[in-house]
């Protein structure tokens, strides 16, 4: 099996000679700080060796639990937000048939909720689930996140009403802290099957824990291969691998060199719609990890070629503060050719007999050339194909790159103090017990 590759020559050409290489000592120091546990936020390094420490017994337990849900449910709702949601959705959408929801079901439909407070969204979800045999995977590390907790309250009641309390217990699974939080209290009191989110793994680094693995297994995908891919990338990015062979270290070095040169925005681009939620997961991973202390590259994302017809103008011609990282998938899993047409009214016969992916690849190359000409440094992450193994590699590549990059930047990569600000105001406005002083202050402020 090969490994994903990072190409950055079309980014380095925008930097002074040797600029990327000058980050080698910093990348090495960051890797050592992660490995030795001396980096900032070192109580959240559980993700670092997670792939190699994952046991077969644990994977078998996850798979057995997924099988119970698959056998007893027409739909499984994954309730979670942020790091308790995006990784599972990213992996499932990379791997599943894009139109699976319109095809005869081979297993339960995997639905996502608890990631917003939209009354219409929740009402429509409940409308869809009415009369259906559904299960719930309730995911919250803190066990108290409002979006997820409201959703779980609604779904628990509905599941119990439709199946009876005893049957509902078989199809509700909790993934939460070992001891604290309302999700743990409820799981223990009700006797739900539960998995623990390790204390030392933060939400956005948790996709390779049960947080991601159980929904992915429930959707019918091979979590052994996902972990195997992550293990390969763990080895490829280990502390003793030379800098020029370590794709995560080089990615961290290039993006920090570009940032220092005034490139404040990184646009992650793909040419496969299946990667849309991988973009979303990556935005959280890098945005929440690096955007603090008044610093950090702003992570943006686009789906090409779709967004070439909307954001393409800005990328080509707008303010030159951006660089672009493209996830390029070498081979599609399906085969489809452009048909020939006798009349050729659309003038497309010059493409007849070509694979659709050949056209896509020329769009990709043409875009790279145009954007580089337009002053946009370009990196490419090349994946052989989209399967569990390479998606596992991609996840770990980005996690390790993030750990190294945040340490080079000088921030605590693993905390997210900024996320609390809106919650405090929301709780004060909703008169949550314990927020009386904040409530009074906010009422005065609003007049
Ligand atoms: O990465 C993070 O820590 C956050 O995005 C959390 O995952 C998110 O806020 C959800 O938190 P919890 O799992 O506690 O419900």
Contacts of 89 (CB under 8 A, 6+ apart): 78, 112, 215, 277, 280, 281
Query: What CATH number is given to the structural domain containing 212?
Result: 3.40.50.10490
Task: Tell me the CB-side half-sphere exposure of residue 285, using CA atoms within 13 A.
Answer: 29
Q: Mark whether 136 and 259 lie in a shared domain.
A: no
Mutate which of 44, 79, 81 for ligand 1? The one with the most ligand atoms within 8 Å of its CB, which is 81
pLDDT, residue 408, reads 98
Query: Alpha-carbon distance 58 to 64, whole Å?
Result: 10
In this predicted structure, the answer to whether residue 368 has a pLDDT above a threshold of 90 is yes
Give yes or no for a contact between 427 and 435, defined as CB atoms under 8 angstroms apart. Answer: yes
Q: How far is the CA of 82 from the centre of ligand 1 (A)?
A: 5
For residue 96, being part of any structural domain is answered with yes
Point out which residues pair with 134 in neighbouring strands.
75
pTM above 0.85?
Answer: yes
Domain check: are 220 and 231 in the same one?
Answer: no
Q: Does any domain span residue 305?
A: yes
- Are 17 and 98 part of one and the same domain? no
pLDDT at 198 > cutoff 90: yes
Q: What is the pLDDT of residue 131?
A: 97
Shared domain check, 305 and 257: yes
Least confident of 36-40, 216-220, 417-421: 417-421
Tokens of 410: 């000088």
The residue range of the domain holding 126 is 50-224
- Same domain flag for 277 and 295: yes
pLDDT at residue 359 greater than cutoff 90: yes
* 313 and 233 assigned to the same domain: yes
Any idea which residues carry the catalytic annotation? 288, 309, 423
User: Best mutation site among 80, 86, 141 for ligand 1, i.e. most ligand atoms within 8 A of its Cβ?
Assistant: 141
357 lies in the same domain as 404: yes
Indicate if 295 and 315 belong to the same structural domain: yes
| Residue 170 binned pLDDT confidence (cut-offs 50, 70, 90) | very high
Bridge partners of 193, per DSSP, are: 173
User: Which two tokens mark 414?
Assistant: 């693993």
Check: CB of residue 45 under 8 Å from CB of residue 34: yes
Asked whether residue 447 carries a pLDDT value surpassing 90, the answer given is no
Contacts 24+ apart (CB under 8 A), 197-202: 197/141, 198/46, 199/43, 199/46, 200/43, 200/44, 200/45, 200/46, 201/44, 201/46, 201/47, 201/50, 202/44, 202/47, 202/83, 202/141, 202/414, 202/415, 202/416
User: Is 25 contained in some domain?
Assistant: yes
Residue 83 CA to ligand 1 center (angstroms) comes to 5
Ligand 1 pocket at CB < 6 A: 81-84, 140-142, 145, 148, 202-204, 288, 416
The verdict on residue 370 lying in a domain is yes
Residue 208 has pLDDT above 90, yes or no: yes
Instruction: Among 224, 250, 276, identify where a domain stops.
Output: 224
Same domain for 239 and 373 = yes
Q: What is the domain count for the chain? A: 3
Give distance in angstroms: CA of 360 to centre of ligand 1: 36
Residue 268: strand pairing partners: 301, 325
Give yes or no: residues 389 and 432 share one domain. no
β-bridge mates for residue 111, sequence order: 77
415: in domain:
no
Inter-residue contact 396 to 381 (CB < 8 Å): no
pLDDT tens-digit series, residues 324-335: 999 999 999 999
In-domain check, residue 59: yes
Domain boundary among 209, 224, 239: 224
Q: Is residue 420 predicted with pLDDT exceeding 90? A: no
Q: Report yes or no on 256 lying in a domain.
A: yes
Last residue of a domain, one of 203, 224, 245: 224
- The verdict on 77 and 155 lying in the same domain is yes
pLDDT confidence of residue 151: 98
Sign of CA dihedral 99, 102, 104, 107: positive
Would residue 351 count as lying in a domain?
A: yes
Residue 3's contacts (CB-CB under 8 Å, 6 or more residues apart) are 232, 233, 236, 247, 393
Concatenated DSSP letters of 2-47 = ---EEE-HHHHTTS-TTTTGGGHHHHHHHHHHHHHT-STTGGG-TT
- Please tell me whether residues 284 and 151 are part of one structural domain: no
């Amino acid at each position: 099996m090969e490994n994903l590759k990072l190409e950055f020559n079309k980014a380095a050409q925008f930097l002074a000679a040797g600029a990327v290489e000058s980050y080698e000592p910093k990348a090495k120091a960051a890797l050592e700080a992660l490995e030795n546990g001396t980096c900032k936020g070192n109580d959240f390094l559980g993700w670092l060796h997670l792939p190699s420490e994952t046991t077969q017994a644990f994977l078998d337990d996850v798979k057995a639990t997924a099988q119970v849900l698959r056998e007893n449910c027409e739909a499984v709702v994954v309730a979670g937000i942020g790091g308790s949601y995006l990784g599972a959705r990213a992996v499932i959408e990379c791997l599943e048939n894009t139109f699976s929801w319109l095809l005869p079901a081979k297993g339960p439909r995997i639905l996502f909720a608890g990631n917003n407070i939209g009354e219409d969204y929740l009402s429509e979800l409940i409308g869809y689930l009415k009369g259906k045999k559904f299960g719930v995977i309730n995911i919250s590390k803190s066990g108290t996140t409002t979006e997820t907790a409201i959703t779980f309250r609604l779904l628990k009641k509905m599941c119990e009403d439709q199946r009876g309390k005893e049957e509902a217990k078989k199809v509700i699974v909790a993934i939460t802290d070992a001891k604290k939080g309302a999700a743990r209290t409820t799981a223990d009191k009700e006797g739900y099957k539960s998995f623990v989110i390790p204390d030392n793994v933060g939400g956005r680094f948790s996709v390779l824990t049960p947080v991601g693995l159980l929904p992915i297994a429930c959707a019918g995908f091979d979590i052994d291969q996902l972990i195997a891919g992550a293990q390969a990338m763990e080895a490829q990015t280990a502390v003793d691998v030379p800098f020029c062979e370590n794709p995560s270290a080089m990615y961290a070095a290039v993006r920090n060199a570009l940032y220092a040169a005034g490139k404040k925005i990184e646009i992650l681009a793909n040419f496969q719609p299946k990667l849309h939620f991988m973009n979303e997961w990556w935005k959280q991973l890098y945005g929440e990890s690096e955007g603090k202390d008044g610093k950090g590259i702003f992570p943006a994302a686009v789906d090409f070629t779709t967004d070439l017809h909307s954001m393409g103008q800005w990328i080509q011609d707008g303010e030159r503060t951006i660089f672009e990282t493209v996830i390029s998938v070498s081979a599609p899993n399906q085969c489809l050719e452009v048909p020939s047409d006798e009349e050729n009214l659309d003038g497309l016969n010059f493409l007849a007999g070509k694979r659709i992916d050949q056209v896509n690849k020329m769009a990709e190359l043409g875009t790279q050339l145009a954007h580089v000409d337009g002053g946009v440094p370009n990196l490419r992450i090349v994946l052989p194909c989209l399967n569990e193994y390479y998606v596992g590699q991609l996840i770990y590549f980005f996690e390790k790159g993030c750990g190294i990059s945040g340490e080079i930047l000088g921030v605590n990569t693993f905390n997210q103090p900024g996320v609390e600000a809106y919650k405090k105001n929301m709780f004060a406005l909703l008169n949550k017990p314990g927020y009386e002083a904040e409530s009074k202050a906010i009422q005065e402020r609003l007049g």
